[in-house]
Amino acid sequence: MAIFEGAGVALVTPFKENGEVNYEKLEELVEEQIANHTDCIVATGTTGESATMTEAEHVNVIRFICSVVEGRIPVIAGTGSNCTQTAMELSVEAEGAGADGVLLVSPYYNKATQEGLKAHFTKIAKAIRIPCILYNVPSRTGVNIEPQTVVELCKKVENIVGVKEASGNFSAAATILNLSGGYVDVYSGNDDQVVPMLALGGKGVISVLSNIAPQQTHDMCEKFFKGDLAGSRRIQLKAMPLIDALFCEVNPIPVKAAMNLMGKAVGEPRLPLTVMEPAHQQRLKQEMEKFGIL
């Protein structure tokens, strides 16, 4: 059984003016997501700025989110690293904190071979008991997890159960689903491709859009699963200009700007990410107004 079906939010990590994690605000964000029917919280991923967290912060944020959620919906913790040992340690900590699963990005910078990827993910998965979802985002990592590698890992390692496919390659997702016969849970990693991914047999999305439009993103998935394809497609198409604006600069710069425009006060991203350029922010504001969330 999949860890979740529907819309999982790739939750931002709010920071105070001094750069520290704002746990009071983080609790508000989690409660807002649950109130708006988000199906899963995905913590400390790319959108959560895990790359600029200390290991202590990383673990503390996972532990805090699990304590706030208290089992009401699943929590998946981003625990990937280009260092296998670090990813193992973070995954063990996430399991101990109460996470329902982990999200494992492919090793970046050192760019492992497919055999290296298999060894890396297998070693991490065998250190824990909770399910693992692979995260394929070659635009950030410089390496692609090939469909055959995903399918083999899910077949041979009991608790590797799926993949967040953010390559933008529908053929890769289709190949995974075809080769696996359905035992690999595929999630869209791109908000502009949710409905097409569901049509191929995907389980849902791990979404940036959900940070600012949680109910609409949930509804997009729920309508599809209930057979209201026209309703699902309508939400997807209406959201396209907003999604485009959310990615006109590198994530999570725009989504944090959007949340601040909504009065959520999540702070600025940590360096090397910077605040959104004024022209881009104006465009984002206009699309938020058109979508009806501002």
In a domain, 70, yes or no: yes
pLDDT tens-digit series, residues 222-235: 999 999 999 999 99
Q: How many separate domains does the chain show?
A: 1
With respect to residue 250, please indicate whether it lies within any of the assigned structural domains.
no
Residue 279 is assigned to a structural domain of this protein: no
Examine residue 23 and state whether it is found in any structural domain, yes or no. Answer: yes
Instruction: Indicate whether 287 belongs to any domain.
Output: no
Do the Cβ atoms of 77 and 44 come closer than 8 Å?
yes
Domain of 171, CATH number, reads 3.20.20.70
pLDDT tens column, 137-188? 999 999 999 999 999 999 999 999 999 999 999 999 999 999 998 899 999 9
Q: How far apart are CA 6 and CA 226, in angstroms?
A: 11
> Does residue 86 belong to any structural domain of this protein?
yes
Instruction: For residue 278, tell me if it sits in a domain.
Output: no
Name the residue range of residue 24's domain. 6-227
As annotated, the active-site residues are 135, 164
Strands (E), the chain: 6-10, 40-43, 75-78, 101-105, 132-136, 160-165, 185-188, 204-207
Interval 259-281: pLDDT, tens: 999 999 999 999 999 999 999 99
